[in-house]
Amino acid sequence: MSEQHNQHNNQENDDYTFLREKITERPINRRKVIRQSLLTIALAVTFALLACFVFFFLEKGAIRGYSNEQEAAKKISLTLQETTEEIMPEDMIKDEDEENKDVPNTNAEDGATAIADAIAAYDPDIDDYQGIYNKMKVLSRDTSKSLVTVTAIQDKTSWLNSSIENRTKTTGVILEDNETDLLILCDAKVIHNASDIIVTFCNSKECSATVLANDSYTNFAILSIPLSDLNEATVEAIAYASFGNSATSCKPGDVVIAVGDPLGYGTSVGYGIISATDIEINETDRNFSLITTDIYGSQSGNGVLINKSGKIIGIISQKYNRKESANLISAIGITELNSLIEDLCNGVVNPHMGVCVTNVTSIAKQHYNIPAGAYITEIKLDSPAMTSGIHKGDVITAINDAVVTSVSDYQNELQSFKPGDVIVVTVMRPNGDAYMDINIKVTLSE
């Protein structure tokens, strides 16, 4: 029995002998390890050299110089074209002999009389009248190529907690491109808090736009659209806006055309004349000129005003109209807007002091002894001017020792600084029957 038990134990031990076997490690392939290590080291050295190369050229300006050249090429500059002077009948008389042009032309008076008689004898008909409007129609059609419809989409929630999509529209002006994006001027209030902005071109092509810059004081904004989003048909259909000099070429009685949406309910056009050009608009730290017309439109009308040469001379804005002329089309003169538009396009942040100023008239100087300078008519709440202690009725006569005798001087001096700069503003403040000098430090804001 004992022998059988021993045999049984020996058999069990033989069955589990594999558990006592020694497991040996696989031999290392040294050549393979060395090869992989050398490859890793080579890749690390290559990456380090490449990083040093890029860093070196960025610091030394090889790449930075190229970037600066690209940025310089993107700067936007708007040109204001002068209107060609009208040719009078007497100017149409030409000397027969150019060599004798210094010799008095005894027939000039007779020629002018003949032209005047011919004009008086001409009997115009309805076709002549229609012909004039046909020419104006061509001008408005050409201008419309540089205009777009800007649609701002705003998502709102009703009192029933349901989503409502609100759409507001305005007219935009195609300004220029900066080699990567198309830039468009529009009303900043319309696109305020918009979740999406859609721009519709004259060929009905729609593109999404983003806000590049805006000025909350004047309510103008610049939209940008990547040039890559425009197809070839759209590029051929559109045109860049052409601007005229509203300060020198606009006179009461001149023919003008309102293009865009002057009637307030879609694409429309209106014809008329300029009624006034000497109305001053006092905005915060900037003054503009208002061009009024006899064109009947909507109080919510928008678009542009063009002259008989097809040049844009103003951006339609109805908010400055008086109550008795609320429906007559008015526009802000483009000359005064020019620098603001350029700054917005080029990313220049303008400094603000927060005052509305006007020129001191000769009558005010003579009868009220008000000194020459920029007279403060209003101070914006919580503005740098208010927090610094400047008062309504003060007259700005200098900024950092630079003499200020007019609104133009004030604007030019202010724009030479940047937000955050501390300036010394010299004001003349009423003190009984006289004025006293006060120097006030002001920290400019955006």
Q: CATH 2.30.42.10 residue ranges in the chain?
A: 355-443
pLDDT tens digits, residue range 214-265? Answer: 988 888 999 999 999 999 999 999 999 999 999 888 899 999 999 999 998 8
Q: CATH 2.40.10.10 residue ranges in the chain?
A: 243-345
d(CA 426, CA 442): 10
d(CA 38, CA 145): 65
d(CA 193, CA 156): 11
Fold for the domain defined by 243-345: Thrombin, subunit H (2.40.10)
d(CA 64, CA 232): 32
For 187, the 3-state DSSP assignment is strand
Per-residue model confidence as pLDDT tens for the chain (446 residues): 555 555 555 555 555 554 455 555 555 556 665 666 666 776 666 766 666 665 554 444 433 443 444 444 468 777 777 765 554 444 544 544 455 555 555 565 666 787 777 777 777 788 888 888 899 999 999 999 999 999 999 876 656 666 678 889 999 999 999 989 999 999 999 998 889 999 999 999 999 999 999 988 888 999 999 999 999 999 999 999 999 999 888 899 999 999 999 998 888 999 999 999 989 998 899 899 999 999 999 999 999 999 999 999 999 999 999 999 999 999 999 999 999 999 999 988 889 999 999 998 888 888 888 889 999 999 999 899 999 999 999 999 999 989 999 999 999 999 999 999 999 999 999 888 888 999 999 999 98
Q: What is the DSSP string of 386-422?
A: HHHT--TT-EEEEETTEE--SHHHHHHHHTTS-TT-E
Q: 355-443 has which CATH code? A: 2.30.42.10
